[in-house]
Amino acid sequence: MQQLITVLGPTASGKTAFAARLANLIDAEIISADSRQVYRKMDIGTGKDYSDYIVDGRQITYHLIDIVDAGYKYSVFEYQKDFLEAWKDITGRGKKVILCGGSGMYIESVLNAYRLINVPHNEELRKELERKPDEELIRILAGCRKLHNVSDTSTRKRLIRAIEISLFTAEGKIPFSFPDFNHTILGILPGRDLRRKRITERLEERLREGMIDEVKKLLELGISPDDLIFYGLEYKFITLFLTGKLDYDEMKKQLNTSIHQFAKRQMTWFRKMERDGYEIHWLDAGWDMDRKIEKALEIIGSD
């Protein structure tokens, strides 16, 4: 049974830098579990800190970052398929694998090997659902026979897509199989005050680095405002600012609040994973890197 090391944590916890340092020590490569870093030209807003993957002058190999164009609707089904291709490539070369990210749905789709299929769009159904209020859509989804319980319903579009998938996939079977992993899950856990401080500081830094210009260029490339809003957080609020729906100060305020709320939802997801039986070995984000690495190596060695 091959070992899969998972590094998870909320946004701004420092998980990528930690995973890269660990990968350097154990001869591993990293498979990203970030639902937005798959998109090209969405760099600053998604936090692609490429410099984190350089450790002691060595480039740590990463996978499933910059693999599809912005504007595309990448699915969990596609992620599973791409994960397995990366897994076979890495392990086929005798390397270890670290799954690293904060997208709980992506992480669990691998750890639980969810049975998904590639569901086509049903335009007739979508038109019918578009006429219904959100409350009715939620009731419809609740009454559907779901294939799994991790449908993302954070926006109206995603709620409609969740219904579309649930109605289509009553007897869906995954067209590929996952290996039996020996799981070791490491969590990077910042205290609330540290998490809030890092999130706010990082937002300020990204705005200085040109995050607004990044979104402006995506719009200039012909990506629709609705598609960018679909990606949420930075892309949603900056698009609303650029299209005149919000002024700068309100955009920044709402975005900062939304990122904090997002981090809370991430932690809620990880705590649910623990209730569902997954053991997460939490490492304090406030520890220095050497201490975190030392503790991680102890855990990996004992699992």
Which of 104-118, 189-203, 210-224 comes out lowest in average pLDDT?
104-118
Predicted local confidence at residue 148, as pLDDT: 45
Of 167 and 16, more confident = 16
- Asked if the model's pLDDT at residue 285 lies above 60, the reply is yes
What residue type is assigned to position 2 of the chain? Answer: Q
pLDDT, tens digit, 9 for 90 and up, residues 60-90: 999 999 999 999 989 888 999 999 999 999 9
pTM for this prediction? 0.81
Mean pLDDT of 137-157: 65
DSSP 71: T
What residue type is assigned to position 275 of the chain? Answer: R
Mean pLDDT of 285-289: 96
Residue with tokens 């005149």: 244
The neighbour count for residue 180, using CB atoms within 10 Å, is 10
SS (H, E, C) 242-258: HCCCCCHHHHHHHHHHH
- Asked if the model's pLDDT at residue 280 lies above 80, the reply is yes
SS (H, E, C) 203-240: HHHHHHHCHHHHHHHHHHCCCCHHHHHHCCHHHHHHHH
Predicted local confidence at residue 45, as pLDDT: 97
For the chain, what percent of residues have pLDDT higher than 90?
71
Predicted local confidence at residue 171, as pLDDT: 44
Residue with tokens 């807003």: 45
Q: Report how far residue 287's alpha carbon sits from residue 295's, in angstroms, rounded to the nearest whole number.
A: 10
Q: Which class for 295: exposed (0-12), middle (13-18), buried (19 or more C-beta within 10 A)? A: middle
pLDDT, tens digit, 9 for 90 and up, residues 1-15: 789 999 999 999 999
For the chain, what percent of residues have pLDDT higher than 70?
91
Predicted local confidence at residue 156, as pLDDT: 84
- Asked if the model's pLDDT at residue 234 lies above 70, the reply is yes
pLDDT, tens digit, 9 for 90 and up, residues 111-144: 987 655 566 778 888 888 888 888 888 877 777 6
Q: What is the mean pLDDT of the chain?
A: 90
